[in-house]
A and B are shown apart, each in its own frame.
Chain A
Amino acid sequence: MEILGLLANGLLVAVEPMNLGLILIGVTVGLFIGAMPGLGSVNGVAILLPITFLVPPGSAIIFLAAIYYGAMYGGAISSITLGIPGASTAVATTFDGRPLALQGRASLALVTAAIASFVGGTVSVLLFTGFAPALASVALSFGPPEIFALMLLAFATFVGLGGDDIPKTVLSICLGLVFAAVGFDEISGEPRLVFFDISGFMHGINFLVLAIGVYGIGEMLWTIDTTRGTITNSEAKMTVKGMTADAGECMRRGWKGMSVGSLLGFFVGVLPAAGATPASLMSYGVTKMMSRTPREFGKGHPGGVAAPEAANNSASTGSMLPMITLGIPGSPTTAILLGGMVIWGLTPGPRLFVDEPEFVWGLIGSFYVSNAAALVINLAFIPLFIWMLRMPFTILAPMIFVLSVVGGYAAVRDMHDIWLMLGFGIGAFFLRKFDYPLAPAVLAIVLGPIAEPTLRQSLLLSSGDPMIFLNRPVAGPITVIAFILILLPLFKVIFNKMRAGKQPA
C-alpha cells in the first residue's frame, strides 16, 4: 500500500503543468529524432541535456526520460516506412515492418509498433514499480557465463527455427561476429583484423554501417531490381476504420510477440551493458521460435514488429532500474542520464529511494504519463508517415539513399565507413539473390561486442574449462536450451527420414 501511495504522489508530480508540458515536448522531439536514421535516443538526450539545467532536477529527468521514450517509439517509423533502421533499437523492426509496408500494410505495421511499444512500456513500468530492488539484485547475480549463455540462446533461435538454409544462416551469424571483432583486441590492446592495413578499420565496424548498408542501400537496390522501376507509389492507405481493424489484427496476431518482448525486454534491459538493442533482437528470435508459423517471420508478420517494439520500450525502462537503484547504467542513454543526475547534485544508488522519494517516484510517474502521451502522439502522426509512403517511388528512392548516407555519416562521422556502407549494400544485394539471410549478421554484429568479452571472461574464470556454461544453475539450463535449438534442424532431418522409412513404398 505504501508503494501505491508513493506512486500516486509520483503521478501527481508528473502531471504538474510544467512537467506535463515537458513530457509532451520531450516525446514529440524524441519521436522525430528516433525516426531519423543514424540518430537515436542517445543523441537526443545528449544534445538536450544542457537545456535541462534551466529547470529543477525532477522536471529535467522527466523531460529526458520523455525524449528517451519518444525515440523508442520513433525508431520504428523509418524502419517500417523507409526500411532504414531509425536507431539500433529498431533494427529488428525492419525484418517484418518493411515487408508489411511493401505489401501496402504500413498502417498495420505502424499501429502494431505503437500498440506494442505502449504495452511494453506499461508492463515494464509495472515491473519497475513492483520489483525494482529485487530485480536489481537478480541482475547483479548475472555474471559473464550467464550473459554469454543468453547471447548463445539468441543466436540459436536464428539457427534452430529460422527455416532458412542452415549453413547460410550460420555463415551469416559468424560473419557478423567477426565483423564485430574488427578493431582492437580489448584485452591485449593490439590491433586486430585491420583488413588490408586500412586505418579506417582500426575503430572497428559500427553496426549501423552494416545495418544501413544492408537495409538502406541493399534493400533499395533489391526493390529496384525486382520491380524494374515499375513501382509508381505505395498502395498504403489509412482510415480510422482501417486503423481500428489493424489494432484488432495486431492484438490477435501480435499478442505473443508483445508478451515475450515486454518481459524479456525488461529483463535484458536491466542487465548491465545489455540494453534495448540486444533485447529487441532476442525478443524477435524467441517470438519466432515460439510461433506456430515461424516461416512467416521476415515476410511481414505483425508478431515480428510487436516483439522488438515491445522489447525496446520495456528495456528502456528496465535499463533505468540499475541506474537508479545501483548507480550502474544499463545503456549509453542511461549513462548520459546518470551523468545528468550527478550534475544536478543527486547520488544514484540504493539510498536515492530514501533520500529523494519525490524525485524517484516523480520519474516513475512520468514513465506512465510519457507512455500514454507517446502512444497518442505516435498514432496522431501515423497519417503523416503514411503520406510519406505514398510519394512516387522515384522520389522516395533517392531520398532513402540520401538518408542512408547522411544518417550513416551522422552516426560514425567517418568517410571510410560510408564507403564501407556502400560495399555492404552491394554485397547484401548479391547475397540476398543467393538466399543468404542477412538479419542474423546484423544480430551478430550487435551482440558480438557483448558475446566475446563474456566468453573470454568466463573461460578465464574457469581456467579454460567450457563446462562453466553447464555447471552454473542459471547458465546451465540456458546453454542446454541453446544447444537443443542449434541441433533442432538435425533432429528434424532424422525425424523426417525415419517417417519416410516407415511409410509403405
Chain B
Amino acid sequence: MRRGEIITAGILALLSIYMMVKSSELDIGYVRGTGPGGGAWPFWLSAIMLLCTVAIAYNWARRTSPPSQSTEPVLDREGRKMLIEVGGGIFVFIALINVISMYGAMGVFLFYYLWFLGRHTLTLSLVISLVSPIAFFFFFEGLMRITMPPGMSFTAPVFDLLYDIIY
C-alpha cells in the first residue's frame, strides 16, 4: 500500500500537469472587458491539485496517512483475479454492445457472471440472462422510448420481431 500511495499521487500529479497544459490552450489570465479567460478556471484548479499531490507526498514521507503505514499489498493474488474476472467481464460486455446490441451483450454478461462466476445452475443462469434483456427491451424501447445500440446488422431480424410487438 505504501508504494501504491506514492505511485497514485505521482499519477495524479502528472494528470494535474497535463490538465494545466491543456487549459493553457485558452487564456488563463484576466482579459480586460471579457473577464477571466476560458482556461483560467481549470488551470488554477489543476494547479491546486498539483499542490495537493505535493502535500500528499509530504504526508507519505512522514508516514502520517494510513496507507503510507501499511505493509499490505494493494491487490493480492485473489484481488487481481477478481479484478480481471469482474472488470474484464464488464470490459467485454461494453465491447460487445456495438456488435451484438446492448440487450445481446447484457444477456452474455449475465450468463457469464451467473454461471461462471456465481456458480448458479445452468437453468437459472439461462432464465435470468434471457428474461432480463427482454424485460429491459420493453421498458426502454416500449415504455421510455429510449433506443439502445442495436449492434451490427445481423441482429435486425430479432429486433424487427420485438418491434412488431411494441408497434
Chain A interface residues toward B at CB < 8 A: 36, 39, 43, 47, 165-168, 170-171, 174-175, 177-178, 181, 185, 187-188, 190, 192-195, 217, 220-221, 224-225, 228-229, 392, 394-395, 397-399, 401-402, 405-406, 409-410, 413, 415, 418-419, 422, 425-426, 429-431, 433-436, 452, 455-457, 459-460, 464
Q: Are A188 and B45 in contact (CB under 8 A)?
A: no
- Verify if B90 is at the interface (C-beta below 8 Å from A): yes
Chain A residues with CB under 8 A of B12:
171, 175
Q: Are B49 and A175 in contact (CB under 8 A)?
A: yes
Chain A residues with CB under 8 A of B4:
430, 433-434
- Verify if B155 is at the interface (C-beta below 8 Å from A): no
Q: Are B74 and A433 in contact (CB under 8 A)?
A: yes
Contact A434 B87, CB 8 Å, known A187-B38, A395-B120, A418-B94 = no
Q: Are B140 and A433 in contact (CB under 8 A)?
A: no
Contact A426 B59, CB 8 Å, known A395-B114, A433-B1 = no
Chain B residues with CB under 8 A of A170:
48, 52
> What are 10 pairs between A and B in contact, CB < 8 Å?
A47-B144, A167-B56, A175-B12, A194-B22, A224-B86, A228-B78, A409-B102, A426-B83, A433-B74, A464-B35
Chain B residues with CB under 8 A of A195:
22
Q: Are A398 and B109 in contact (CB under 8 A)?
A: yes
- In the complex, which of the residues B114, B148, B149 contacts A394, with contact meaning CB atoms closer than 8 Å? B114
Tell me the dominant secondary structure on chain A's binding face.
helix
Chain B residues with CB under 8 A of A457:
35
Closest to B27 in A: A188
Q: Are B114 and A225 in contact (CB under 8 A)?
A: no
Chain B residues with CB under 8 A of A402:
93, 106, 109-110, 132, 136
Residues 62-103 of chain B, each 1 if its beta carbon lies under 8 Å from chain A, else 0: 000111000000110011001100110111011001100010
Chain A residues with CB under 8 A of B66:
435
- Verify if B19 is at the interface (C-beta below 8 Å from A): yes
Contact A406 B148, CB 8 Å, known A171-B56, A190-B38 = yes
Chain B interface residues toward A at CB < 8 A: 1, 4-5, 8, 12, 19, 22-23, 25-26, 30, 34-36, 38-39, 41-42, 45-46, 48-49, 52-53, 55-56, 59, 65-67, 74-75, 78-79, 82-83, 86-87, 89-91, 93-94, 97-98, 102, 106, 109-110, 113-114, 117-120, 128, 132, 136, 139-140, 144-146, 148-149
- In the complex, which of the residues B46, B52, B82 contacts A225, with contact meaning CB atoms closer than 8 Å? B82
Q: Are A456 and B35 in contact (CB under 8 A)?
A: yes
Q: Are A178 and B65 in contact (CB under 8 A)?
A: no
Chain B residues with CB under 8 A of A413:
146
Chain A residues with CB under 8 A of B49:
171, 174-175, 178
Chain A residues with CB under 8 A of B90:
217, 401, 405, 422, 425
A392 CA / B41 CA spacing, docked (Å):
47
Q: Are B35 and A398 in contact (CB under 8 A)?
A: no
Q: What is the minimal beta-carbon distance from B47 to any residue of chain A, in angstroms?
A: 9
Q: Are B23 and A192 in contact (CB under 8 A)?
A: yes
Q: Are A171 and B83 in contact (CB under 8 A)?
A: no
Chain A residues with CB under 8 A of B93:
401-402, 405
Q: What is the minimal beta-carbon distance from B112 to any residue of chain A, in angstroms?
A: 8
- In the complex, which of the residues A39, A43, A168, A401 contacts B109, with contact meaning CB atoms closer than 8 Å? A401
Contact A188 B56, CB 8 Å, known A174-B48, A193-B19, A460-B35 = no
Chain B residues with CB under 8 A of A228:
78, 82
Chain B residues with CB under 8 A of A419:
94
A431 CA / B1 CA spacing, docked (Å):
12
Chain B residues with CB under 8 A of A221:
82-83, 86-87
Interface centre among B12, B90, B106 (most CB of A within 10 A): B90
Contact A39 B144, CB 8 Å, known A394-B118, A415-B149 = yes
- In the complex, which of the residues B41, B98, B109 contacts A456, with contact meaning CB atoms closer than 8 Å? B41
Chain A residues with CB under 8 A of B25:
192
Other A-B pairs, 18, CB within 8 Å; known A185-B38, A188-B26: A167-B53, A171-B12, A171-B49, A174-B48, A181-B42, A220-B86, A221-B87, A225-B79, A225-B82, A392-B120, A394-B120, A399-B132, A406-B140, A406-B148, A419-B94, A435-B65, A459-B36, A460-B36
A224 CA / B88 CA spacing, docked (Å):
14
Q: Are B35 and A174 in contact (CB under 8 A)?
A: no
A220 CA / B35 CA spacing, docked (Å):
44
A320 CA / B105 CA spacing, docked (Å):
41
Q: Are A192 and B39 in contact (CB under 8 A)?
A: yes
Interface centre among B46, B52, B94 (most CB of A within 10 A): B52
A177 CA / B44 CA spacing, docked (Å):
11
Contact A394 B117, CB 8 Å, known A165-B65, A415-B97 = yes
Q: Are B36 and A455 in contact (CB under 8 A)?
A: yes
Chain A residues with CB under 8 A of B140:
406, 410
- In the complex, which of the residues A217, A397, A431 contacts B8, with contact meaning CB atoms closer than 8 Å? A431
